Amino acid sequence: MQSSRTVDPEIARSWLLVNGLRSELFDPADRSRADQVILDLEDAVDPGAKDQARECVASWLSEERRAWVRINDRSSRFWDDDVDLLSSLPGLVGVLLAKTEAAEHVTETFDRLGGRVKVLPLIESALGIEEAVSIARARGAFRLAFGSGDYRRDTGTSADDLAMAYPRSRLVVASRVGGLPGPIDGPTVSRSHPILREQSNVAVSLGLTGKLCLDIEQLPVINEVISPTPSDVAWALDFLADFEARGRVIRDGSDLPRLGRARKIERLASAFGVQPL
């Protein structure tokens, strides 16, 4: 698998959240198998320690050390200080905007950051799910992410796969309508690899293409499950070779969908370093 510095955030699978106060964890996270690292200024940080966390993040980010930062939601009193600090920092890849519930939350954040920084709206409520299409279409929106824990608290929904299928599918559809890459699923709290593998497979089956994670030990499983399998890659390369050999002739109505799938698998396999069987 490729390192976090080589996987484009448009297709990144694993997004590792790191407490913004725990500066001793920043370098290990940066060296980890995470496709992208997010330094967290929001839920992981007590309100009384926000300034200290900002100082930790600001002192670590540089031209050589790059990461995303999860900032506080637009309606909170901490948002202004977050964006003011980050607007001038080197090493900022983008921001994960907590509790996004409206398109203007995205555009105002994007504008305050100079119109150059990627904004990844984190949708964590019933209202956010309802407004997902307008959020995905908002200027500055880069990719949607699902705050599954807060969504469950807001709605009373259980963690059951069937109960959570609707909001996940809603984000997949909204991303497609908004012309965004596939959305990023919420984290799995359990460290059990079988549970993590099962939940990651569910996310993939619904069309999500990334996953937030809370622990370095989760990264290999997430990256493996969200990547094309070696057998998928072998099929794709064989199909594309046959397509070229027959002069790129479309034989029937199933060829175009299979061609699109094969080209996508080939592209992802190249990005993630997956070899065919």
Instruction: For residues 187 and 203, state if they share a domain.
Output: yes
pLDDT for residue 39 is more than 80: yes
- The pLDDT tens digits for 105-117 are 999 999 999 999 9
Answer whether residue 277 is part of any domain: no
Answer whether residue 3 is part of any domain: no
Reported as a pLDDT band with limits 50, 70 and 90, residue 268 is very high
Instruction: For residues 253 and 125, state if they share a domain.
Output: no
pTM reported for the whole predicted model: 0.94
Q: How far apart are CA 222 and CA 214, in angstroms?
A: 11
Instruction: For residues 137 and 257, state if they share a domain.
Output: no
pLDDT for residue 4 is more than 70: no
Instruction: For residues 72 and 174, state if they share a domain.
Output: yes
- The pLDDT tens digits for 105-154 are 999 999 999 999 999 999 999 999 999 999 999 999 999 999 999 999 99
Percent of the chain with pLDDT over 90: 92
pLDDT of 6:
79
**At CA 99, angle to CA 96 and CA 102, rounded to 5?**
100
Q: Which residue has the tokens 């002739």?
A: 249
- The pLDDT tens digits for 50-94 are 999 999 999 999 989 999 999 999 999 999 999 999 998 999 999
pLDDT for residue 19 is more than 70: yes
Instruction: For residues 235 and 220, state if they share a domain.
Output: no
Ranges of beta strands (E only) in 72-189 are 92-97, 118-123, 145-146, 184-185
Answer whether residue 43 is part of any domain: yes
Instruction: For residues 109 and 205, state if they share a domain.
Output: yes
Q: Which residue has the tokens 């901490």?
A: 78
pLDDT for residue 2 is more than 50: no
Answer whether residue 2 is part of any domain: no
Which residue has better confidence, 167 or 6? 167
Reduce the DSSP state of residue 15 to 3 states and report it. strand
State how far the alpha carbon of 93 is from the alpha carbons of 61, 66, 97, 179, 219, in Å: 10, 6, 13, 20, 20
Instruction: For residues 185 and 52, state if they share a domain.
Output: yes
Instruction: For residues 125 and 213, state if they share a domain.
Output: yes
Q: Do 206 and 169 contact (CB within 8 A), yes or no? A: yes
Q: How high does pLDDT run on average in the chain?
A: 95
Reduce the DSSP state of residue 117 to 3 states and report it. coil
Instruction: For residues 242 and 205, state if they share a domain.
Output: no
Q: Which residue has the tokens 């150059």?
A: 116
Structural domain for 209, as ranges: 14-226
Task: Calculate mean pLDDT across residues 207-236.
Answer: 97
Task: Calculate mean pLDDT across residues 250-270.
Answer: 93
Number of domains in the chain: 2
Answer whether residue 1 is part of any domain: no
Answer whether residue 6 is part of any domain: no
Answer whether residue 246 is part of any domain: yes
pLDDT of 5:
52
90, amino acid identity: P
Instruction: For residues 172 and 239, state if they share a domain.
Output: no
Q: How far apart are CA 179 and CA 191, in angstroms?
A: 33
Percent of the chain with pLDDT over 70: 98
Structure tokens at 53: 């966390």
CATH of the domain at 212: 3.20.20.60
Contacts 24+ apart (CB under 8 A), 234-239: 234/276, 234/277, 235/262, 235/265, 236/261, 236/262, 236/263, 236/265, 236/266, 236/269, 237/262, 237/266, 237/276
Answer whether residue 267 is part of any domain: yes
Of residues 81, 34, 93, 14, the one with CA closest to residue 53:
81
State how far the alpha carbon of 209 is from the alpha carbons of 8, 46, 240, in Å: 13, 31, 23
Q: How far apart are CA 117 and CA 94, in angstroms?
A: 5
Instruction: For residues 182 and 70, state if they share a domain.
Output: yes
Structure tokens at 58: 């600001």
Instruction: For residues 216 and 238, state if they share a domain.
Output: no
